Structure 1
Amino acid sequence: MKCFFCALAIASMGFSAQAQADSVLGVYAGVDFWQSNISGRFANNEPMQAFEFRDRSQQTYYVALEHFLPIVPNIRIQYASLQARGAAILGDNFNYAGVSFSAGNHITSSLMLRNADYTLYYELFDNPLLSVDLGLNAKHVKGDITATSAESAGTEQLNQWIPMVYLDSKVSILATGLDIFVSGSVGAVKDGNVYDAQAGVAYQLIDNMVVDARLKLGFRALDLRVEGLDNLYADLTFKGVFAGIELHF
Structure 2
Amino acid sequence: MQTTRYPNLRIAALAVLFMASGGCAAQPAPSTPPPVAASPIPPAPPAPPPPGAEPGPLADAAAITTTQGTVSRFLTNPDGDVDGFMTDDGTLVRFPPHMSTQLTSAVRRGDVVQVIGRRDEGGSFAAQRITDTRSGQQVIDEPPMGRAAPLPRAARGEGLSRLSAQGQVAHVTTAPRGEPDGVILSDGTVIKLTPPVAQQFPGLVRTGATVSAQGYGTRNQYGTALQATAFGSPGNLTPLYDRNAQMP
TM-score (norm 2): 0.27
Between Structure 1 and Structure 2, the one with more strand by share is: 1
Between Structure 1 and Structure 2, the one with more helix by share is: 2
- Which one has the largest radius of gyration? 2
Q: Which has the higher contact order (CA 8 A, sep 6+)?
A: 1
